[in-house]
Chain A
Amino acid sequence: MAGLQDEVDVLRRISLFANIEPARLKLLAFTSDRVTFSAGQELFHEGDAGDAAYVIIDGAVDVLKDTDDGEQLLVTLKKNAFVGDIAILCDVPRTATVRAVERIETLKIRKEHFLRLLIEFPEMAVEVTRVLAQRLQKTTDDLTACREELSHTQGG
């Protein structure tokens, strides 16, 4: 099994943690659990209470949303992705289901650890804000596109 150093390397490749000094990342890795999921196992389910976020160290996950027509695949995330951050940042239930596509290795970061890091490293807080803003930007774009599409359909 891979050691702490590999995990630190993975963490550094995630933009959110990029600006944090390596010693702290090692500490974060040390105090987090390494968790393996097998194919098809859920990391968490939409609507559950959130207590941790996951860094995907190896493998891929599907992010899914429950709709009236059944589950809808939003995106597939690969190695170095960071999932589950919304629920622990905003204290809301999980906004989507994340399921392992294949056998995956993750690093489970507890909510209170993550929040504490944000307080201690303003750079990280800025980074989180940036990432969230990017996501909002993308969501807004998508929404606009959807609206247009909708009005086309209705108009046409």
Chain B
Amino acid sequence: MEPSLFTYIWRHSKADQIWTLIVVLVAMPLVFYAYELPKKIVNGPIAGGEGLDLPGAQKDFLKFEFSVPEWISETGTFTLYGGIPLDRFSYLYALCAAFLLLVCINGLFKYYINTYKGRVGERMLRRLRYSLLDRILRFPQSQFRRIQASQMATMIKDEVEPLGAFIGDAFVTPVFQGGLALVAMAFILAQNVILGCVALGVVLAQAVIIPRLRRRLLDLSRRRQLESRALAGRVGELVDGIQEIHVNDASNYERAEMASRLSRIFFIRYELFQRKFFIKFLNNFLAQFTPFLFYLVGGLAVIQGEMDLGSLVAVIAAYKDLPSPIRELINWDQSRLDVQIKYSQVIEQFESDNMIPPEMQEPVTETVPPLAGNVSASNLGVTDDTGATLLQRTTFNVPIEGQTAVVGLVNSGAESTSEVLAKLLLPTNGGIEIGGKDVKDMSESTLGRRLGYVGPDPYLTLASIRDNLLYGLRHVPLRDPEGETRTALELSESKRSANTLLDIDAEWVDYEAAGVSGREELDERIVEVLKTVDLAEDIFELGLRGSIDPASDPELAEQVLTARRELRGRLETLPLSELVEPFDPTKYNHHATLAENLLFGTAVGDEFAPEILASNAYFLEVLHATGLDKELFEMGREIARTVIELFSGLPEDHPFFEQLSFMDAEEMPEYEAVIARTAGLDVEKMKADDLTMLLKLPFAYIEPRHRLGLMTDDLEARLLEARTKFSADLPEDLADAIEFYEPEVYNAASSLQDNVLLGRVAYGIADAHSQVHAAIQAVLSELKLRDAVFEVGLNFSVGSGGKRLTSLQRQKLSLARALLKRPDLLIVNRAFASLNANNQDQMVARVLEAVKPADGKGGSGMFWVLQNPSSATHFDYALVFEDGTVAEKGKPNELNKSGSKLAEMIEQS
């Protein structure tokens, strides 16, 4: 990248800079005229100057006259246009109209220039950010060991931001303001050479002193930038390492560390301001110092008769125009230095010696030919940046389509070999060739499409499971999107900022690479691959627990309702009838809490959240209106009394308290006090807090679970009335806070599973949950809804870095992604560490079976760095690593004899 900001700006925005300058120069005379006009209006028609106070006097409006030498015209003037003679009033109108017109024109010019400059700045900013991002994509792997993601983010986002504002002015300001200053200076010099020299002297003094004062300023602003960036880096670390902070009680250490950083930044900024304002003060002083000299030196000269008064006045008048351009220049210079430092500090971080050349990442639209031949390493050696030897003198030769097991202890060289093969690690000696071509010379389009790599700690992007699976099939846009996704303007702006023109909204998925003809076959293939890695069931479960928007997918919502009806049909007969009590608006649900029975819906948001329901105003109002508050208050007292009676005298850590769902052990004394306080009291006279506390108890009550015998048919009937009233009178502003259970309506706030069930699984029946789950599964299968549920599971968002999935699920997903692109060679590097040996072995066997060539489709070769050496027997060939080199190679069954290293490793595992 260009080392100097100005070179960068000039190279990429020459034409724009010149055009801005031209427009500014064209606009200038109009600006001056707009300043002149008010004087003319006041002096002319208003004050009656220029002879306009005489009755019947007229003035020529729009008269254009130039002074010319007498040899051209005898009158000494050349009249371009004689003008329109107007009387005093008309002249006033005309001048005022002209003034208004000029104001508009000048305003429009200003608007145009500012927009233009702004756009140029934004374009350049976009170009700069894009090229910085591009550089991150081309950094060598080793670079990532020393950079912090949050520092990179703050550089690209914040540090380059002020450049945008500056770039538009980069050339216009110095040229234009410098020009004005020069004109003013020349004018002063023309009026009086001595005074001119005085003014020039002061300006030159400014030009010498100020840059000296600024040196410290530059240093400070560089330090400020580095400190702020380091702060951003630390904030990122704080977030990433939050677990360690908690488990080590390091939060106060972190606080102190942050405070010391903030303190450093504070003092840097404080000094910066002090110096900045001192320079400002000096500038202002020098600007005023010149007139002081004029008055003194000029005054003396006038008194002594060496200079006439008129010249002095003219010089002082001319000087008026000088400070403002000078100040503009100084300000410009200040921001120039600022952004130049920012620019160089940023691009320094984005320089690297071993940047991946752009041609390695060329977007290739054609099909990349498959890799064939042998994978052969010769004299391969890798030394890391600390000088430790990871791999030495490693030589082997295996067919790419073969199934190779790589066995070795941790850091025996097995992992490094697989990383070199995937070009994630560059060899220090020798190399690995595939089909006679060195891996390190292969482009990413070859490696990324023909090889698959699954590492020990795969990264998933914040997107759906489906998007993560298809990530390995999206290399270039293959088919045009439906309709126009970008306007011509968007495209041309992309071009102007040198951004890529590849369309993110186009169809990127490479069906051919996945061996399918289209979307439908791809879906089948996805299921197949997920079954291979044993993830299909998990995704189905995610789908069951997921929710859909019935408005955007009415068809599925309707099918779920069909499943609900089907399940209800089955619930009528044993054994299911016992296991589930469906939500029926006309019946009390005995296996739901009393509060749930009143609400009879899923709370959306916090308004009707169970924990705070007892203090919800509308809810209490309904209870009061139905008179239930008295009854429930008594019930609350009864529960509290029973609990206190049962649990009194037990220590707080007694295991029995774990079974107490109504209150915590430490709340018991409080409840005792409430009971004492509320004895014989009327509900209306009670303190709100006491009522809330007591109401909480019956709200959580479930008869079959708590078995206190508190529910009666009469109470149930009255609760049903309250339920009806609650939904009928629900105020409009609360309408979105709850989705009622309605047997014939899809409940958007609940999961698919709860929608199919729409009821409660009964308490106290052994195995009820799994039986109901099985029944739901059976209904979904019979109605052929499994695919739809699966689809909902595929749309599950994996969270930042895939953190909503378990680490095992992430690894499985990563393997599924690699399998989906059908690589010529699939490299697996110590994945599935969290699986036990037996499950690992099953996984290996399943994957090997799945990648075998079948029905005319080519399979994938394997290069699997095994976690569990005994799985090696599934493979055709084994490489046994020890001390950074291959210690044994051959067919696993032949190698696995007593005395061999492989046998020893299997023995020990």
Seen from chain A, the residues whose Cβ lies within 8 Å of a Cβ on chain B are 1-4, 7, 23, 26-27, 29-38, 41, 43, 110, 112-113, 116
Contact = CB atoms under 8 A, between A and B. Distances in A.
A3 B708 contact: yes
A26 B647 CA distance: 10
A79 B618 CA distance: 49
Nearest to B575: A38
Contact of B707 (A7, A43, A116): A7
A36 B646 contact: no
Nearest to B654: A116
A32 B646 CA distance: 13
A35 B655 CA distance: 20
Interface in B655-705: 655-656, 659-660, 703-705
Contacts of B707: 1-4, 7, 29-30, 34
A58 B619 CA distance: 41
A108 to B, nearest CB: 9
A23 B642 CA distance: 11
A116 B655 contact: yes
Contact of A4 (B654, B708, B763, B765): B708
A30 B704 contact: no
Given A4-B708, A30-B646, A113 B703 contact: no
B483 interface: no
Contacts, number: 57
A31 B659 contact: yes
Contacts of B655: 110, 112-113, 116
A33 B645 CA distance: 19
A75 B766 CA distance: 22
A31 B707 CA distance: 11
Contacts of B763: 33-34
Given A30-B706, A113-B659, 18 more contacts: A3-B709, A4-B708, A23-B646, A27-B646, A27-B647, A30-B646, A30-B659, A31-B659, A32-B659, A33-B705, A35-B766, A36-B766, A37-B765, A38-B575, A43-B766, A110-B655, A112-B655, A116-B656
Contacts of A27: 646-647, 650, 656
B441 interface: no
B767 interface: yes
A111 to B, nearest CB: 9
B29 interface: no
B764 interface: yes
B704 A26 contact: no
B660 to A, nearest CB: 7
Contact of A26 (B646, B659, B765): B646
Contacts of A32: 659
B766 A31 contact: no
Most buried by B among A27, A29, A34: A27
11 contacts: A4-B707, A4-B709, A26-B646, A30-B706, A31-B656, A31-B659, A33-B764, A35-B765, A37-B765, A38-B575, A110-B655
Closest 10 CB pairs of A and B: A31-B659, A3-B709, A112-B655, A34-B764, A31-B656, A27-B646, A37-B766, A36-B765, A4-B707, A3-B707
B767 A41 contact: yes
A88 B620 CA distance: 46
Which of B647, B654, B763, B764 is the most central at the interface, judged by chain A CB atoms within 10 Å of its CB? B764
A36 B764 contact: yes
Contacts of B708: 3-4
B656 A113 contact: yes
Nearest to A30: B646
A134 B705 CA distance: 35
